[in-house]
Amino acid sequence: MIRQIGIIMAAIDHESVSKQGELKMKDKITAYLKKITLEDQVKYFYFLYLIMTLCSYFWMYSMLTVPCHEYIANILRTTGLVFIGVKLCVDKVWEDKTELSLAMVLVFAGVLNFMLFRQHIYDFDMILLVIGAYRIKFKDILKVWLSVSVILIILMTVFSQTGVIEDLVYCQADHNMKPRHAFGSNYPTDYAAGIAFCAMGVAWLRGKKAGLIDALVDFALAAFVWNYCAATNSAGILILLGIGILYFDIRRKISKDGEYRMMSGTMYVLEYAMPIGVVLLFTLSIIYMNGGDLIEKVNLMLHQRLATSSEGLMKYPLTLFGNAVQLRGFGGTTEVPDFVFMLDDSYVNVALRQGVVMLVCIVLLFLRLGKKQAGARAWISLYILALVAVHCFFEHHLWDIIYNPFTLAFFAMGDEAGSNEE
């Protein structure tokens, strides 16, 4: 009897402790919720909007047989507009007048382009995300972007190799008939670009902590995308990223005070990498129009980018707010389409489709972002922005949220520039 009473009492005590634990947990949750300010709520709403947008874009650009209906995109844009309206009411007055002017130009150019040509509706998503990032830490935005992108890339890869979705395999003459896997994406280079930008995002967050292990991972990823996707540009970017990480790490370690000091000339080139790339591409494309053996060799070295860019410049005029450009690449099917016209590089692509105003605005924002990194001595971040400029010289991912998260840093809080180098 005494033993049974003891067991009953122990059970009562255990239940009492459990209830106390539940009450403590509820109190902690209640206290945490009370601490969440209106600005925090807006920030979490932005993250949710970003996650939903990324998922819908991956859905549209993957080989999923179930189509992503337009009403889903419309719901997302309506959500984004509501969010922007709430954020404008909550946020403080836009203090930087230059950034405010660039933001207004960005919105005006995007809206006018759509009204004129009824194309590029997805520009609204980019504009809403870029403007919505105002006063939110870019480090936090990048963490959310990376988490979602890495998970979706892994899922897409696994599904493509288990037969859930199709793995398009291309065997093309300009790649010596080497099999190129898309791993559930529309095209091998798109899949490889996703990996390259994720690697750059990780390096941005790691900052000074990035070292030998990070570089080896980047080299391994470069070998993977080169071997299975034959994606020269993304493989090269990953190799350059690894080399840059090693260089900055070694220079810091051999320095007496543990700090690396970049030469002003190198810093200037990295800051102005994108404007230099724009001027170089347009200049070489115009020269290519006149023909010549030397420029043809340069074109072959640049993987036909001058040929496609000059073709676009001859077909469509350079205007302030773009043109109704019909693009059709090889993606989405292994069958050769009847009509093929693709502006692979970002700079001519944006200039002809969204307009010169949009291109200039984006380049200026990247330039300002680079100067902020240089001012904070965030050398790896500055180097990454230069790599983005090089990547966009060859591929059309400058203004695309799936691949390029660094556009979200235009108006985000800049304190991450210093913290990622600590």
Residues, the chain: 422
Q: Is residue 309 part of a domain?
A: no
Do strands 179-181 and 169-171 pair parallel, antiparallel, or not at all (unpaired)? antiparallel
Q: Which residues, at least 6 apart from 245, have a Cβ–Cβ distance to it below 8 Å? A: 203, 210, 211, 214, 215, 218, 380
Cβ-count burial 1-29 (b if 16+ within 10 Å, e if not): eeeeeeeeeeeeeeeeeeeeeeeeeeeee
Neighbouring CB atoms inside 10 A of 104's CB total: 13
215 three-class SS: helix
Note the pLDDT tens digit of each residue in 300-351: 999 889 999 999 999 999 999 989 888 877 776 777 777 778 888 999 999 9
Query: How far is CA 232 from its chain centroid?
Result: 19
Q: Give the tokens for residue 158.
A: 């696994």
Q: Is residue 320 part of a domain?
A: no
Beta pairing partners, 62:
185
CA 178, CA 159: separation in Å to the nearest integer?
23
Residue numbers of the domain that contains 353: 38-279+335-419
Q: Is residue 120 part of a domain?
A: yes
180 three-class SS: strand
Query: Splitting the chain (422 residues) into consecutive groups of 10 residues, what average pLDDT does each group show?
Result: 54 54 56 63 86 85 71 72 73 77 89 79 83 91 96 94 89 75 91 96 94 96 95 96 95 80 88 96 94 90 91 93 83 73 91 94 95 92 97 93 93 59 47
For the chain, what is the domain count? 1
410 three-class SS: coil
pLDDT at 158: 94
Global pTM value = 0.88
Q: Is residue 289 part of a domain?
A: no
Q: Is residue 24 part of a domain?
A: no
Concatenated DSSP letters of 324-374: ----B-STT-SSPPS--B---SHHHHHHHHT-HHHHHHHHHHHHHHHHHHH
pLDDT at 79: 75
pLDDT at 422: 44
Q: Is residue 297 part of a domain?
A: no
